Amino acid sequence: MATDPIVRIRGRRRASTLYRDVTNVSHVTVEIIRASEKVEALPHIVRHSPDGFEWGYSGSGPTDLALAICAAVLGEEPSPAVILAVRDALVSPIGTDLWELTAKRVHEVAAGVSQVLRERAS
């Protein structure tokens, strides 16, 4: 087990003005917060969205965010079923520009999916 585990994940979206007060680009940052309160950028594992993380819907940006959250919190890249469950339960429903998730919640969703997969296999 990590000596300084991840306890929270925090995201923020800020709009940018490109030209003549037209706002259509957002800057997204996602950070992990460790037990020591150390804050680090969440690395983007590019699998579905070369443009980066997003949330609030079920597309490629939220899928990559769920993948990165799972890999960071769980310590390994989980099955596609776990990634999609985290996306659908925790990432897609986010409706704000500033949010925070607990690592405990990520573990709960992943454990629930793993349990269902084990039951189906037996």
Q: Mean pLDDT of all residues in the chain?
A: 89
Residue 16 lies in a domain: yes
Query: Is the pTM value of this prediction over 0.85?
Result: yes
Q: Are 11 and 28 in contact (CB under 8 A)?
A: yes
Domain range for 32 is 6-121
Residue 1 lies in a domain: no
Residue 65 lies in a domain: yes
Number of domain units in the chain: 1
- Cα distances (Å, whole numbers) of residue 87 to 7, 21, 36, 59: 18, 33, 27, 9
- For the stretch 27-42, pLDDT in tens is 899 999 999 999 999 9
Residues of the chain predicted below pLDDT 50:
1
> Would you state the pLDDT for residue 22?
56
The percent of residues in the chain predicted with pLDDT above 70, rounded, is: 89
